Amino acid sequence: MAYLETKLPAPLLALAIAAGMWLVWRDAPVFGPDAELRVAVSVAIAQVSAALVLAAGFAFWRARTTIDPRRPERAATLVTYGIYRFSRNPMYLSLLLLLLAYAIRLGAPVALAGPVVFAAYVTRFQVLPEERALEAKFGLQYADYCRRVRRWL
């Protein structure tokens, strides 16, 4: 399964999972609070998602390093400031929150499988390979960062 590592960009994966959530939702019973409350909660979560990705993008721009997750070995700088003081993967966390917001908006408990699948896939096929590449490139500096900052939250 190593051939899947760093091959599928996380935004495309999230889009595919969102499409799958919609397909499952069409035939699933809707539970939980009324639609207005679900929309309000999902919008709030989506706004947090947007703030995360903007903060992460700004930190990478400021560091003048790549944001291409398919080539982590090309990182010029280890970004450990800003939002990266709280999460090693705020961009992936942003997509996870966006899928969670969508699942809440749909209101079908089965839709919650989408964010779970995303987190599992991204951790196995994106995050772990990135971590290996960054540790190889930045050594003890990266190991220390990993001890201080959690992978997701």
Q: What are the tens digits of pLDDT across the range 3-54?
A: 779 889 999 999 999 999 999 998 888 887 889 999 999 999 999 999 999 9
Of 108 and 70, which is predicted with more confidence?
108
The CA-atom distances, in angstroms, between 103 and each of 2, 80, 108, 143, 149 are 29, 31, 7, 35, 28
pLDDT computed for residue 108 by the predictor = 92
pLDDT at position 1 over 80: no
- Residue 34, class by beta-carbon neighbours within 10 Å (0-12 exposed, 13-18 middle, 19+ buried)? exposed
Nearest to 17 by CA among 88, 87, 106: 106
pTM above 0.85?
yes
